[in-house]
Structure 1
Amino acid sequence: MINITVDDKGVVQLLKRIEQKMGNMRPVMRVIAGIMHDAVEENFEKEGRPKWKPLKKSTIKQRERKGHWPGKILQVSGQLASSVTQKATSTSAIVGTNKKYAAIHQFGGEITQAARSELFVRSRYVRGSKKTGTKRGQFKKGTKEGRGFTFRERHIVIPARPFLKLDDKTLDEIRNKLLEYVTKV
């Protein structure tokens, strides 16, 4: 699971002061986890805040061929966006995902696809049935064996598109909820 740590010193110091004053902070942590989860959903909806780097033309063409374009940048099937979960304990509010490919989208990076050889075999069998008396399991006339292809090693560069990101507005909202919780108690 990918976890994002809030490094905002003001929020961290406020959390420490509140923790000293009270024991169970689970209720406010649930609220904070919800705020963080909403912010992540908004990142997917608005395609980043600030905007993510656009897709390459080749990626858009590939998505068009498969019927997934026009669409959103990190949402072909919606699995990444729907995998984002939230968790709250008495000391932390956590938002993350369990998808293995989430890290490459969050932080960016390079994928190296190894060189390989493949054998492509087209449909070349005669289909028939015992009832009609046609020959089953034979090759069609004029067909040959499969055709081999060799692919070179290739490098795919994926730019960082941080979806587990909190903007200043969200951090202010978290601070306000913490202050509201402290003043209630």
Structure 2
Amino acid sequence: MSNKSFKDILKAINQRLGRLKPPIDKEILTDVADIIEISIAKNFDMGGRWDGNKSDIGLFSGGTQKWAPLADNTKARYKTLGYSQEATLNRNKNLRSAIDVFGRSGKVFISVKSPYGAIHQWGGTIDHPGGTEYGYKFKKDMKTHKIQFLKKGRGYKVLGKTGPHKIHIPARPYLVIGEEEMLLVLDVVQRAVVDGVAKK
């Protein structure tokens, strides 16, 4: 979405919201929350839909750019584990299921109950203390030299532990609203204004 088209849509929404007398109907808030939830789900399904502006990431950063690809070493590790090598942010479903969008007290709230929700949205660097064990998970892995990270105390043979290191996580904004969904929000607000006028 271009910055101009977004501003035009947001301006139109704000103008119409200004014509609604508080309290805003709960049904309107629920409809808007549902649209935002659908938009966020699309971001996961499409591997990102943002404008690529790393210096100004927000809810209204919708666009056509995909998320940054996984690092080569991560791809290699995922390949040995049989995981997708795409940056889906959805390998174990934990982040996606931690998102809640709801309307309350005249506002729409978005919450992410995940300890790593923020770093995936805005990016950052983790100072990892190390100490993660790696080795052969099963005896048969020795023949194929399949080495992977192990849960502490588990696995067939521990080969060593990682030392202190930094993990760089690129921004992969998933809490953004696409232009199509913004237009749907505009339509909901517009209908609410028309209904409100008709009821007077």
Name the TM-score, length of structure 1 as normaliser. 0.70
User: 2:25 corresponds to which letter in structure 1?
Assistant: M
For residues 111 and 16 of structure 1, the distance between their equivalents in structure 2, rounded to whole angstroms, comes to 43
Structure 2 residue matching 1:110: 3-state secondary structure:
strand
**Residue 90 of structure 2 corresponds to residue 75 of structure 1:** yes
Aligned to 2:13: 11
Question: 1:142-183 CA deviation, whole Å, 9 max, x = no partner?
Answer: xxxxx9967543111111000000122221211111001110
For residues 117 and 83 of structure 1, the distance between their equivalents in structure 2, rounded to whole angstroms, comes to 26
Question: 1:2-39 CA deviation, whole Å, 9 max, x = no partner?
Answer: xxxx9944434432331xx2434211010000000000
Q: Percent identity?
A: 25
**Residue 160 of structure 2 corresponds to residue 153 of structure 1:** no
Q: Residues 67 and 87 of structure 2 are in contact (CA less than 8 Å); yes or no, is this contact kept in structure 1?
A: no
- Please provide the CA RMSD for this pair: 2.8
Change in CA separation of 1:150 and 1:97 when aligned onto 2, cut-off 3 Å: closer
Shift of 1:58: 1.1
Aligned to 2:60: none
Aligned to 1:168: 179
Q: Residues 123 and 171 of structure 2 are in contact (CA less than 8 Å); yes or no, is this contact kept in structure 1?
A: yes
Aligned to 1:34: 34
Question: 1:68-127 CA deviation, whole Å, 9 max, x = no partner?
Answer: 225552111111112221211241112332111010000100111125598x9xxxxxxx
Aligned to 1:182: 193
Aligned to 2:80: 65
Q: Residues 25 and 90 of structure 1 are in contact (CA less than 8 Å); yes or no, is this contact kept in structure 2?
A: no
Q: Residues 96 and 164 of structure 1 are in contact (CA less than 8 Å); yes or no, is this contact kept in structure 2?
A: no
Q: How does 1:94-133 map to 2 (within 5 A)?
A: 94-114=109-129
Change in CA separation of 1:13 and 1:52 when aligned onto 2, cut-off 3 Å: same
Question: 1:48-82 CA deviation, whole Å, 9 max, x = no partner?
Answer: 11211111121111112222225552111111112
User: 1:14 corresponds to which letter in structure 2?
Assistant: R
For residues 54 and 39 of structure 1, the distance between their equivalents in structure 2, rounded to whole angstroms, comes to 21
Change in CA separation of 1:29 and 1:117 when aligned onto 2, cut-off 3 Å: closer
Aligned to 1:51: 66
Structure 2 residue matching 1:17: 3-state secondary structure:
coil
Aligned residues: 151
Q: Residues 107 and 160 of structure 1 are in contact (CA less than 8 Å); yes or no, is this contact kept in structure 2?
A: yes
Aligned to 1:23: 23
User: Greater CA deviation, 66-75 or 48-57?
Assistant: 66-75
